Amino acid sequence: MAPIRRYVLMACALAGTAQGAMARDLVVVSYGGPSKVAQTKAYYEPFRRETGVNVVGAEWNGEVGKVKAMVDTRSVSWDAVEVEASLQGRGCDEGMFEKLDYSQIGNKADFIPGAVQPCAIGTFVSSTVLAYNADKLKTAPKSWQDFWDVKRFPGKRAMRKGAEYTLEIALMADGVPPAEVYKVLSTEAGVTRAFRKLDQIKPYIQWWESGSQPAQYLLAGDVVMSTSYNGRITNARREGKNLQMVWDQSLYELDYWAIPKGSPRKAEAMKFIALASRPEQQKLYSEQMPYGPTNRKALALLPASVQAELPTAPQNLRKAMPLDVNFWIDHVENLEQRFNAWVAKPAT
């Protein structure tokens, strides 16, 4: 799922969870929410049954300083941690994560492109899509251009409060083909173009900061459309809500499992990651949380109705563009600062 899209938790509660684990427990840290519920059923409980090792599920909000401090002080209390794409690359380069032994995980060819990394293995694929409430719109939007069309679709729009995803979407709404988005965004003129496009709908934007908010806003009628993580919309649909998604020009990224450098339970953590990478276990996860599996063999195990709502379904994936992790590693600080300054200015 991505960027600043996480459940912020009190550090003291997290520390208490980890420290309270018994010596033989495995501390697995994720971003929480419905995904953690699915992980518990698909990974944590099967691992305990298979190995006899209990999994203590802790949560975090992606603050890299937490991992770095543990590694630097050699007081690592986490054994496996879910990380976003940009963090797995940075963490590996800076020595925060262990190298993975793929002889224990499986055939690298079984995984989708981008999943196999030196210090991390992709665990699921999430997408940011255009979502809307079909009960409240007579005409269905079909593109980011429609998202900007306040005459045909009057009312508020919700967008994630951050540069990542938002700038890419603005450029696509301005007619930039997905394949050229990052080429354009790499230039000063391209960044200026993205913000000028955002200026057009700034008075109509209602920002969201938690992944649960887009569906809430749509169901309440606060907004007519929203950017959203696909899993949240599908979960609402499973509850009988008439929310719909536009997969065309959606953006997708991977989340990964990594092992903090110096974990005293590295061997058990490797076994956990191996189990969580099996197609059978990823099938169980995707049935509960509609994010796409990274093991190619898992998709074939899922019913067609489930596959259709996943980012990795062929008909959805071919319409989507991948988030360029390397671009954001290089530009995140500058663009987030510029974005925050832009948000702070009154709309004109």
pLDDT of residue 18: 44
Judged against a pLDDT cut of 50, whether residue 160 lies above it is answered with yes
For 228, other C-beta atoms within 10 Å of its C-beta total 29
Residue identified by tokens 């969870």 is 17
Say if residues 215 and 236 touch (Cβ distance below 8 Å): yes
Return the SS3 of 3. Answer: coil
Q: Are strands 120-133 and 26-30 parallel, antiparallel or unpaired?
A: unpaired
Q: Which helix (H) or strand (E) holds 258?
A: strand 243-258
Q: What is the 3-state secondary structure (H, E, C) of 28-40?
A: EEECCHHHHHHHH
Single-letter code of the amino acid located at 177: P
Query: pTM for the whole thing?
Result: 0.81
From the list 207, 117, 113, the residue with the least C-alpha distance to 165 is: 207
Interior CA angle at 339 toward 93 and 171, to 5°?
90
Q: What's the rounded Cα separation, in Å, for the pair 90 and 117?
A: 12
What residues does each domain of the chain span? 11-125+253-318, 127-252+322-344
Note the pLDDT tens digit of each residue in 184-207: 999 999 999 999 999 999 999 999
Which tokens go with 117? 């990394």
Query: Is 3.40.190.10 the CATH classification of the domain at 127-252+322-344?
Result: yes
Note the pLDDT tens digit of each residue in 100-123: 999 999 999 999 989 999 999 999
Q: Where are the alpha helices (DSSP H) in 179-288?
A: 181-185, 188-201, 213-220, 230-238, 266-276, 279-288
Q: Rounded to 5 degrees, what are φ and ψ at 144?
A: -70, -25
Q: What is the CATH number of domain 11-125+253-318?
A: 3.40.190.10
Residue identified by tokens 């956990």 is 272
pLDDT of residue 325: 86
From the list 147, 340, 123, the residue with the least C-alpha distance to 228 is: 147
Judged against a pLDDT cut of 70, whether residue 4 lies above it is answered with no
